[in-house]
């Protein structure tokens, strides 16, 4: 797959120039603080894109490397935090600096969830078949831990604050990612939309609540990030409520998700069979280049 090779080539480039450890003392010499922070921020963007690719069935070498080296990832995140301020200069607006600080918590949570995306992808790619049940239970506990660790994110995302709309929006978006990931993990061993453990129904309910909050916060603003689109997509294929399906479909603007969703609705509507995680991954990966080229 082309994206497999692209991800692998990008990681090899980072390693060749010692950029994957840009935040550590062992990283490349001769780079100043501004350059290090900017490269760290760009590397985090690569990790984010790689996590998206992992859900398409891609090998995702970059995020695979960092999930195996959490200390390096933590240093990378810390180095990237002040990238905008360092590269702007001494006149960096204090209001923007405050906004940067506010984004630390939801962005850290997003990275933790992206790692879980990658780990879930390993299950349905058949790379951990021998301990599938045990590993899924482990990830379930990991999500439980994140729910406690980042409880402020859920609180801010569902609050009625008006002074920091960007913080509320970021928190609500990441909350939808969390609940969509819970559903996705549970459905790695069952069919979407069928009866299952109560955690699935709860996750779907909360996902819908936060999705509505995001759409309310984002009125008049730029379309929310890809990760939110993915959350809407997961909710749409999990719910059997026609009203919710219609609303979710109307909020999905990503062309790939729109097309695959229509195909999934057609299959579910025919009543011939259910939709499993392999179906979703297969349909998405068959058209994955369209989204990245658009």
Q: How far apart are CA 46 and CA 64, in angstroms?
A: 12
What pLDDT is attached to residue 186? Answer: 93
What pLDDT is attached to residue 146? Answer: 98
Average pLDDT by consecutive 10-residue portion of the chain (294 residues)?
89 91 72 91 96 90 96 94 91 90 94 96 66 82 97 94 83 97 92 92 98 83 78 97 96 93 91 85 67 36
Q: How far apart are CA 71 and CA 18, in angstroms?
A: 16
Q: How far apart are CA 144 and CA 123, in angstroms?
A: 19
Buried b (16+ CB within 10 A) or exposed e, 110-139: bbbbbbbbbbbbbbbbeeeeeebeebbeeb
What pLDDT is attached to residue 291? Answer: 40
Q: Of 291, 238, 227, 232, nearest to 264 (Cα)?
A: 238
What pLDDT is attached to residue 164? Answer: 81
Q: Of 1, 47, 55, 52, nearest to 20 (Cα)?
A: 47
Q: Note every long-range contact of 41-48, with CB atoms under 8 Å and residues 24 or more positions apart, other chains counting.
A: 41/80, 41/83, 43/14, 43/19, 43/76, 43/80, 44/76, 44/77, 44/80, 44/111, 46/10, 47/73, 47/111, 47/114, 48/110, 48/114
What pLDDT is attached to residue 260? Answer: 94
Helix/strand/coil for 241:
coil
Cross-strand bridge partners of residue 192: 275
pTM above 0.85, yes or no: yes
What pLDDT is attached to residue 28? Answer: 72
Q: What is the DSSP string of 124-177?
A: HTTTTGGGHHHHHHHHHHHHHHHHHHTHHHHHHHTS---S-HHHHHHHHHHHHH
DSSP-assigned letter for residue 294? -
Residue 107 neighbours by CB distance under 10 Å:
17
Find out whether 180 and 186 touch, Cβ atoms under 8 Å.
Answer: no
Find out whether 116 and 147 touch, Cβ atoms under 8 Å.
Answer: no
What pLDDT is attached to residue 287? Answer: 45
């Amino acid at each position: 797959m082309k994206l497999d090779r692209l991800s692998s080539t990008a990681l090899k480039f980072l390693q060749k120039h010692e950029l994957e450890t840009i935040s550590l003392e062992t990283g490349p010499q001769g780079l100043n603080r501004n350059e290090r922070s900017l490269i760290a921020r760009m590397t985090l963007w690569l990790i984010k894109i790689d996590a998206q690719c992992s859900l398409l069935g891609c090998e995702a070498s970059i995020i695979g490397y960092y999930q195996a080296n959490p200390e390096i990832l933590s240093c990378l995140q810390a180095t990237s935090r002040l990238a905008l301020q360092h590269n702007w200069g001494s006149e960096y607006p204090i209001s923007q600096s405050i906004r940067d600080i506010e984004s630390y918590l939801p962005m850290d949570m997003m990275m933790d969830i992206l790692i879980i995306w990658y780990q879930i992808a390993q299950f349905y790619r058949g790379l951990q078949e021998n301990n599938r049940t045990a590993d899924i239970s482990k990830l379930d506990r990991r999500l439980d831990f994140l729910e406690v660790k980042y409880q402020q994110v859920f609180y801010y995302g569902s609050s009625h604050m008006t002074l920091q709309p960007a913080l509320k929006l970021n928190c609500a978006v990441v909350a939808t990612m969390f609940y969509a990931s819970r559903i996705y993990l549970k459905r790695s061993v069952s069919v979407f939309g069928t009866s299952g453990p109560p955690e699935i129904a709860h996750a779907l309910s909360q996902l819908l609540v936060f999705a509505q909050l995001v759409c309310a916060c984002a009125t008049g603003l730029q379309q929310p990030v890809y990760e939110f689109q993915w959350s809407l997509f997961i909710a749409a294929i999990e719910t059997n409520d026609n009203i919710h399906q219609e609303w979710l479909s109307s909020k999905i603007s990503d062309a790939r998700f729109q097309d695959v969703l229509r195909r999934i609705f057609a299959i579910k509507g025919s009543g011939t069979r259910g939709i499993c995680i392999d179906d979703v991954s297969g349909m998405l990966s068959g058209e994955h280049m369209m989204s990245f080229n658009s």
